[in-house]
Structure 1
Amino acid sequence: MNKMWIVTAQTYLRQVKSWSFILLILTPFIFGGIGMGIGSISANSADQEDRIAVVSSEASLRDGYIKQNKDDVAKKYTTVDASKKALKSKDIAGYLVLSNSDKQVKATFHGNDDLDSGTKSRVQIYLSQVQQQFNLQNAKLTGAQAAALQTQPQFKQDIQKNVGKQNIAMLISFWVMVVMVYIILITYSSITAQEIASEKGTKIMEIIFSSTSAVKYFVGKILGVLLVIVTQILVYVLGGWIVLNYAKSASLTKDFFADNQTMINSVIHNLFGVNMLFLLLGVVLFTILSALSGALVSKAEDASKAAQPSIMLAMLTFFSTFPFQNNPESIFAKILSYVPFFSSYFMPLRVINHAASPLEIGLSLLILLVTIGLMGYYIGRMYKGLMLQTDTHGFWSSLKSGLAYNK
């Protein structure tokens, strides 16, 4: 047992110390950081250029508008001359001059282009409010009359809360889950196959198999790769948590997160729990298949070709989910949610859409676990024969020899 863990540790350390693994881990964060930086700079620049200056000889008019629309106003420009210079240098979209003549409020916008509809609407709302106050003062109404004029119409909505956002959350969860599973499978199918194939027919394998059983060595290899995958997922979870907390307070994204917190929580909930377990078990199953593919190549030089069978199967399972993303209760989706290799995609799809009972989930997990155990044990028994053979008769010949060795 100790030798198996030594193989596991060596496989794990060799992979996590490689530059390819470090780049694999850092690339999403690097590109994400670059994207957020560019987006933030662009948003801040565009936001500043879209703002307007507000100028008025009456401080109350200017202060009232800024109080209502502080995010749309370039506050540092307080005079017409300063605003003209800012407009000329394109630091602002224009400037608004507010005035009051005989209890009539007036506004004049100066700019190179028309005022955008949103800002124009806010200006008109503010002018209407101020003008209404002036009109009430001029009318000299009693308190009761003034109160009567303030009566507003009532509008209500009776809708099913969050149904739309729940559907969006399910769709986002589905795509994040299947894409994440697909990328991990494609990446580590290649890594595992090449890890095994690179040792094919080497003298060192004869020495290793003389000191430990092929099953222990094979299981150690699989566990080592699995630990690498778990490490990557943990790094992404931790990084995602940090990014999520930053995004909640960042000026560029905080409003979006505030408005969609329920939907975001639903997506996060769908990605973890039993769905994450299906992801890990699916990766283990594909890793075992990739190890078999690597052991079946004729020689170490063919390592680059070793991952093709498992990659093709991963692509088949990935694309097969597309027709069922909006129909998880289809009979085909139900059947495939119990079929190993396919269940890692289809059962999470059903779980996300609340189309699977705890009994169905448990049965699918049991089938997946039994398949992993049987495949691991069976392939482990013929692993020595596969790795030590040096003939170059091709895939089927190698498989036949391996099956014959398993006894």
Structure 2
Amino acid sequence: MSKTWLIAQREYLTRVRKKSFIIMSLLGPLITAAIFAVPVLIATMSDNNKVVAVADAGGLFVDKLPDPKEDISFTRVSPDLPAAKAEFKKAKYDALLYIPKLDLATPNGFQVFSRKGLGLSLQRDIERAVENAVEAQRLKKAGIDQAVLNTMKADVDLQTISLSDDGERSSSTGVSTGVAYVCGFLIYMFIFIYGIQIMRGVMEEKTNRIVEVVISSVKPFQLMMGKVLGIAGVGFTQLALWLVLSFGIMSAVTGSISPEKIAQKRVEQVNTAAGNTAVVVKDKETKKEGNAIVQALKTADINVALIAGCFLFYFLGGYLFYGALFGAIGSAVDSETDTQQFMMPVTMPLVLTFVVAQATLTTNPNGQVAFWMSMIPFTSPIAMMMRLPFGGVPMWQLGLSMLLLIGGFLGTIWLAGRIYRVGILMYGKKVTYGELSKWLFYKG
């Protein structure tokens, strides 16, 4: 074991001292924060409010124009189309809506003029405003009070509660889904990135004939185990740095793009375009959206300690399971081109888990498909971590899944060691699956 730890120490120190490791450890959280923060910052800093001029020759908006929103407001111009066009060009509105004299039974003939083409979002907003006005006119003509109809509409906020043997607890499907995808994605990326590093490291030593000197003092199995454990340490170090830096960066970023500040920015935009009455309405709506998100996070009673502990276990267990297979592939081939035929069977379970996750794991996390995928070692690291945030996973299933993953890792290490001891000194031969099966039963 001392030789295995020496090899692991060498692999760890060699990689953490590289400039590429330091750069990616620092840039990773920045890139992650930028992915989430930049679109929000652009949306808050840009002036998205569009002003639409309305030439109402048909009297559709005779009572009042549509209420302004965060991204669109309306203003009235001459109902005469030529005069409206002249006013449109002079005032530089974003669009001109012309409403002809119309029949409410078959409303048609509406026209929208713009200078540089009408955006899809703006067109949809104008269409919705016209449709709402036509419906209001039809209701008025039929003698139905719009205000009474509005009071009949209901906005229901469901509080989801999970019933388990431990009692009742609040839950949030949206938050649980987000946590499930984050955990599954991190394990998926970790296995791919560092598993391939094991494969390339083994191939590099093999092609450079370094391994011929190394195995004179250590067994091939010890060499492979040392590589797997050393690179696992590198991965954990980088993950820890990412978590610490990401927490600091996101704390600073969320302070500048909080729901309250976004609401204030939108209020200022609407205030400039449409007046104080709309500001009060929009301010309430925006704060309601922000408060709904915050409330969802607060009410999601997720067992953080359990998820964090299981994440570390499946994080390491999945890596060790697949790392041994990647090491075996690296020892069996001479070039990265030859790895393609062996990579597909190894990586397909990971890809399959993500595909099934969208259709089954997050929609029915306690179903039969989710259960069996969380038991099979090839899929359990991702599948179980995508089930846990939703709750309801019995402890016996979690324990059985962990035992099967440990057993799968030991079995994979044994198989990989059998391939490794033969393939590490095999040069210039095209390896097939039949050849690999023979290596498993070689004696000595």
TM-score (norm 2): 0.59
Counterpart code for 1:212:
V
Aligned to 2:44: 43
Structure 1 range deviating more: 179-188 or 212-221: 179-188
SS of structure 2 residue aligned to 1:211: coil
For 1:357 and 1:331, how far apart are their aligned partners in 2? 14
Instruction: Provide the residue aligned with 2:442 in structure 1.
Output: 405
Aligned to 1:294: 330
AA aligned opposite 2:406: L
Q: What is the CA-CA distance between 1:238 and the residue it aligns to?
A: 1.0
Structure 1 pair 258–301 and aligned structure 2 pair: CA distance change class (3 A):
closer
> 2:405: which partner in 1?
368
CA shift in 2, pair 1:25/1:311, >3 Å? farther
8 Å Cα contact 1:270-1:352 kept in structure 2: no
Local SS of the residue matching 1:340? coil
> Which whole-Å deviations, capped at 9, do the CAs of 1:152-176 have from their partners, x for residues lacking one?
xxxxx99764659611111111221
Q: For the residues of structure 2 that align with 1:265 and 1:13, how far apart are their CA atoms?
A: 40
Residue in structure 1 matched with residue 385 of structure 2 by the alignment: 348
Deviations 1:195-252 (A, max 9, x none): 1122225432122111011221111011011111111221122123213433453353
Query: What CA distance in whole angstroms lies between the structure 1 residues aligned with 2:347 and 2:309?
Result: 26
| 1:255-266 mapped onto 2 (5 Å cutoff) | 258-262=294-298, 266=302
Do 1:294 and 1:307's aligned partners in 2 also have CA atoms closer than 8 Å? no
Give, in angstroms, the shift of residue 351 of structure 1.
1.8
Distance 1:352 1:404 in 2: 43
Once the two structures are superposed, residues 343-380 of structure 1 have per-residue CA deviations (whole angstroms, 9 ceiling, x without a partner) of 11222233222231111101110111121123223422
State how far apart, in whole Å, the 2-side matches of 1:187 and 1:8 are. Answer: 18
How far off its partner does 1:311 sit? 3.0
The answer as to 2:278 corresponding to 1:278 is no
SS at match of 1:389: coil
**CA displacement at 1:327 relative to structure 2:** 0.8
Q: Which amino acid aligns with 1:323?
A: A
2:186 to 180, 204, 215: 180
Letter in 2 for 1:287: G
Q: C-alpha distance in 2, partners of 1:44/1:393?
A: 59
**Which residue pairs with 1:241 in the alignment?**
247
In the TM superposition, 1:148-297 aligns within 5 A as: 161=159, 166-200=172-206, 202-247=208-253, 249-253=255-259, 258-262=294-298, 266=302, 272-297=308-333
- Structure 2 residue aligned with 1:3: 3
> What is the root-mean-square deviation in Å for CA atoms of aligned residues?
3.6
The question of whether the paired residues in 1 share the 8 Å contact of 2:328 and 2:417 is answered with: no
Corresponding residue for residue 380 of structure 1:
417
Equivalenced residue count is: 304
Offset of 1:29 from its aligned partner?
Answer: 2.6
1:327 & 1:234 partners in 2: Cα distance? 31
- Of 359, 366, 373, the residue aligned with 1:336 is 373
Shift of 1:18: 3.6
Quote the sequence identity (%): 20
Amino acid at match of 1:338: M
* Alpha-carbon distance, 1:16 to partner: 2.6
Structure 1 residue 309 displacement after superposition: 4.2
**Partner Cα separation in structure 1 for residue 259 and residue 322 of structure 2:** 38
Letter in 2 for 1:195: G
More helix by percentage: 1
User: What CA distance in whole angstroms lies between the structure 1 residues aligned with 2:47 and 2:337?
Assistant: 53
- Cα deviation, residue 273, structure 1: 2.4
Letter in 1 for 2:243: V
Given that residues 10 and 230 in structure 2 are in contact (C-alpha distance below 8 angstroms), is that contact kept between their aligned partners in structure 1?
Answer: yes
Q: Specify whether residues 7 and 269 from structure 1 end up closer, same or farther in structure 2 by C-alpha distance, changes over 3 A only.
A: same
Q: 1:23 & 1:179 partners in 2: Cα distance? A: 22
1: CA distance between counterparts of 2:319 and 2:259?
Answer: 33
- C-alpha spacing 1:237/1:208, structure 2 compared with 1 (3 Å): same
Runs (5+) with no aligned partner, structure 2 = 51-90, 92-154, 162-169, 261-289
How many Å separate the matches in 2 of 1:212 and 1:42? Answer: 59
C-alpha spacing 1:275/1:30, structure 2 compared with 1 (3 Å)? closer
What is the distance in 1 between the residues matched to 2:195 and 2:419?
A: 20
Q: Which residue of 2 aligns with 1:13?
A: 13
Whether the 8 Å CA contact 1:192–1:291 is kept in 2: the answer is: yes
Contact 2:331-2:423 within 8 A present in 1 as well? yes
- Extract unaligned runs of 5+ from structure 1: 51-87, 89-156
Asked if the contact 2:171/2:300 (under 8 Å) is kept, the reply is: no
User: Given residue 363 of structure 1, which amino acid in structure 2 is its aligned partner?
Assistant: L
CA distance in 2, matches of 1:332, 1:158: 32
Q: Which moved more, 1:34-43 or 1:219-228?
A: 34-43
Structure with bigger gyration radius = 1
Name 1:145's counterpart in structure 2.
Answer: none
How far apart in 1 are the matches of 2:12 and 2:259? 38
Residue aligning to 1:318 = 354
Aligned in 2, Cα 1:14/1:295: closer, same or farther, shift over 3 Å?
same
Structure 1 pair 37–319 and aligned structure 2 pair: CA distance change class (3 A): closer
**In 2, Cα distance between equivalents of 1:263 and 1:270:** 17
1:223 & 1:370 partners in 2: Cα distance?
Answer: 17
